[in-house]
Amino acid sequence: METAKYIERNIPDFELLTEEALQVIEENAEIVLEEIGVNFVNNPGALARWKEAGAEIEGERVRIPRGLARKLCATAPSRFTQVARNPAKNVEIGGRNLVLAPVYGPPFVHDAMGGRRYATLEDFRNFVKLGQMSRWLHHSGGTVCEPTDIPVNKRHLDMLHSHMTLSDKPFMGSVTEPSRAQDSVDMCGVLFGEAFVQQNTVMTSLININSPLTFDDVMMGALEVYAANNQACIISPFIVGGAMAPVSVAGTLTQVLAEVLAGVAYSQLVRPGAPVIFGAFVTSIDMNSGAPTFGTPEAAQITYGAGQLARRLGLPYRSAGSFNGSKLPDAQAAYETSNTLNNGLLAGVNFMLHSCGWLEGGLVASYEKFVMDADQLGVLHKMAAGVSVDESAQAMDALREVGPGGHYLGCAHTQAHFKTAFWRSELLDYKPFETWSEEGGRDTMQLASDRVRKLLDSYQKPEMDPATAEALAAFVAEKKAAVPDSFM
Query: What residues numbered 420-449 form the site for a copy of itself, per CB under 8 A?
Result: 421-425, 428-433, 436-437, 441, 443-445, 448
Work out the angle at residue 172's Cα, subtended by the Cα atoms of residues 168 and 177, and round it to the nearest 5 degrees.
140
251 binds a copy of itself (CB under 8 A): yes
Count of Cβ atoms closer than 10 Å to residue 103 Cβ: 29
Q: Of 2, 35, 457, 463, which lies in the binding site for a copy of itself, with binding defined by CB under 8 A?
A: 35
Return the range that interacts with a copy of itself (CB under 8 A); candidates 88-96, 120-128, 138-146, 339-347.
339-347
37 binds a copy of itself (CB under 8 A): yes
Handedness of CA 80, 85, 87, 91 (dihedral sign): negative
**Is 83 or 341 the residue whose CB approaches a copy of itself more closely?**
341
Q: Of 87, 403, 466, 484, which lies in the binding site for a copy of itself, with binding defined by CB under 8 A?
A: 403
Q: Of 4, 47, 152, 395, which lies in the binding site for a copy of itself, with binding defined by CB under 8 A?
A: 395
Count of Cβ atoms closer than 10 Å to residue 298 Cβ: 17
Q: Of 1, 48, 393, 474, which lies in the binding site for a copy of itself, with binding defined by CB under 8 A?
A: 393
Closest distance to a copy of itself from the beta carbon of 43 (Å): 13
C-alpha 323/C-alpha 284 separation (Å) is 12
414-420: list long-range contacts, CB under 8 Å, 24+ apart: 416/392, 417/392
Contacts of 331 (CB under 8 A, 6+ apart): none
The CA–CA distances, whole Å, from 349 to 11, 139, 239, 411 equal 13, 15, 17, 39
Q: Of 5, 14, 469, 471, which lies in the binding site for a copy of itself, with binding defined by CB under 8 A?
A: 14
479 binds a copy of itself (CB under 8 A): no
43 binds a copy of itself (CB under 8 A): no
117 binds a copy of itself (CB under 8 A): no
473 binds a copy of itself (CB under 8 A): no
218 binds a copy of itself (CB under 8 A): no
**Is 164 or 328 the residue whose CB approaches a copy of itself more closely?**
328
246 binds a copy of itself (CB under 8 A): yes
**Is 273 or 297 the residue whose CB approaches a copy of itself more closely?**
297
In the region spanning residues 289 to 318, those forming contacts with a copy of itself, defined by CB under 8 A, are: 289, 291, 293, 295-298, 300-301, 305
**Is 19 or 465 the residue whose CB approaches a copy of itself more closely?**
19
When computed from its CA atoms, the radius of gyration of the chain, rounded to whole angstroms, is: 23
Closest to 235 in 3D by CA, of 279, 274, 266, 202: 279
Strands 115-118 vs 108-111: parallel, antiparallel or unpaired:
antiparallel
CB 343 within 8 A of CB 320: yes
Instruction: Please state the three-class secondary structure of 451-485 as a single string.
Output: HHHHHHHHCCCCCCCHHHHHHHHHHHHHHHHHCCC
**Is 66 or 461 the residue whose CB approaches a copy of itself more closely?**
66
342 binds a copy of itself (CB under 8 A): yes
Closest distance to a copy of itself from the beta carbon of 25 (Å): 7
Q: Of 31, 48, 473, 474, which lies in the binding site for a copy of itself, with binding defined by CB under 8 A?
A: 31
CB 168 within 8 A of CB 91: no
C-alpha 198/C-alpha 78 separation (Å) is 19
Q: Of 9, 70, 139, 413, which lies in the binding site for a copy of itself, with binding defined by CB under 8 A?
A: 413
Question: Within 140-284, where are the H helices?
Answer: 155-166, 178-192, 194-199, 217-228, 249-270
In the region spanning residues 144 to 163, those forming contacts with a copy of itself, defined by CB under 8 A, are: none
**Is 181 or 300 the residue whose CB approaches a copy of itself more closely?**
300
| Strand segments (E) across 297-429 | 317-319, 351-352, 358-359, 364-366
412 binds a copy of itself (CB under 8 A): no
286 binds a copy of itself (CB under 8 A): yes
